[in-house]
């Protein structure tokens, strides 16, 4: 698949799942915990967000939308039970219900129906449909791979493969784009570290797509000579070879250093949505 080609119009994802938060206090409950402002989500939009550790590292990557008075949160399918368990601990006695939502998750490219995904150019939408309405002929693993390649071309991280729990930083993943981090609302878990990183210019790395000619094991270290400068998290094959998503030091990108992973040359790509890159700060 070339960089200008579009995936099929509709993709059914098997790697993502939904959780429903119900009750009059659900938006305020989530707003106190996660990076994004959950009280201002437009009715027809998704909003990216993260639940962080107190040290400001990513614990869960989320996509949030409204459904009437409820909020629907999309999370990794393999980690949904853990997410529900974690949120139940925070709920305590607040009148908020937290339940699995077993609708099917579909991505539509070039459609005008569904929830707008602001991480792209307005042509990508999510549709949460009853399982009975899902395309029974859809090849889920193939659809997941096509979606992964589409995301990587745009430099969009999603889920634990791209955002290793308790290791990844939200600003490195450019969560500050598309209202994924609110710097105006009150405190949330990890807020102090995230705000200090931004306002003091302490960010040292940024996520970018990378192009490789051969497959490598992931995750894999990115090297500039004998210096460790980043890591490739995920890799997927397309018609142009191999496409990965990596976090790379800004100073290495600024110096235009030759980069390798497992001895293979890697070429950083610079999609428009990620430009300009954050200013690099010397150690």
7 falls in which pLDDT band (50, 70, 90)?
Answer: very low
The DSSP-derived string for the chain is: --TTPPPPSEEEESSEEEEEEESTTHHHHHHTTSSS-TTS--TTB-EEEEEE-TTS-EEEEEEEEEETTEEEEEEEGGGHHHHHHHHHHHHTTSS-EEEEE-PEEEEEES-SSSEE-TTTTS-EEEEEE-GGGS-TT--HHHHHHHHHHHHHHTT---STTTS-TTT--TTTTTTTGGGSS-SSS---TTHHHHHHHHHTT---EEEEEEEESS---SSEEEEETTEEEEEEEEEEEETTEEEEEEEEEHHHHHTT--EEETTEEEEE---GGGPSPPPP---
CATH classification at residue 241: 2.40.30.110
Instruction: Report pLDDT digits (tens) over 14-30.
Output: 999 999 999 989 999 99
Instruction: Report pLDDT digits (tens) over 216-269.
Output: 999 999 999 999 999 999 999 988 889 999 999 999 999 888 999 999 999 999
- For residue 258, being part of any structural domain is answered with yes
Same domain (yes/no): 143, 26: yes
- pLDDT score recorded for residue 283: 47
Domain count, the chain: 2
- For residue 47, being part of any structural domain is answered with yes
- Taking 60 as the threshold, does the pLDDT of residue 270 lie above it? yes
Same domain (yes/no): 123, 252: no
Structural domain that includes position 273 = 204-283
Same domain (yes/no): 14, 137: yes
- For residue 62, being part of any structural domain is answered with yes
Same domain (yes/no): 96, 15: yes
Same domain (yes/no): 109, 212: no
């Amino acid at each position: 698949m070339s960089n200008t080609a579009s995936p099929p119009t509709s993709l059914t994802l098997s790697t993502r799942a939904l959780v429903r938060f119900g009750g009059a206090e659900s938006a305020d409950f989530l707003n106190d915990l996660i990076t994004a402002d959950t009280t201002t989500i437009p009715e027809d939009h998704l909003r990216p967000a993260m639940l962080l550790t107190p040290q400001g590292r990513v614990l869960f990557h989320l996509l949030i939308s409204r459904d009437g008075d409820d909020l629907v949160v999309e999370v990794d399918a393999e980690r949904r039970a853990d997410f529900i368990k974690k949120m139940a601990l925070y709920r305590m006695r607040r009148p908020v219900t937290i339940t699995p939502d077993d609708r099917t998750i579909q991505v539509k490219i070039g459609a005008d129906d569904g929830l707008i995904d602001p991480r792209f150019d307005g042509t990508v939408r999510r549709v949460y449909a009853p399982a009975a309405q899902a395309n029974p002929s859809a090849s889920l693993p193939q659809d997941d791979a096509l979606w992964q390649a589409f995301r990587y071309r745009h430099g969009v991280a999603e889920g634990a493969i791209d955002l290793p729990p308790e290791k990844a930083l939200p600003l490195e993943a450019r969560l500050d784009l598309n209202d994924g981090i609110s710097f105006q609302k009150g405190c949330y878990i990890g807020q102090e570290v995230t705000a200090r990183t931004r306002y003091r210019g302490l960010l040292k790395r940024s996520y970018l797509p990378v192009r490789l000619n051969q497959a490598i094991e992931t995750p894999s270290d990115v090297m500039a000579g004998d210096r460790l400068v980043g890591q490739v998290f995920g890799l997927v094959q397309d018609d142009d070879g191999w496409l990965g998503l990596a976090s790379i030091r800004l100073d290495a990108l600024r110096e235009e250093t030759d980069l390798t992973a497992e001895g293979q040359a890697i070429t950083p790509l610079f999609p428009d949505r990620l430009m300009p890159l954050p200013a690099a700060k010397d150690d």
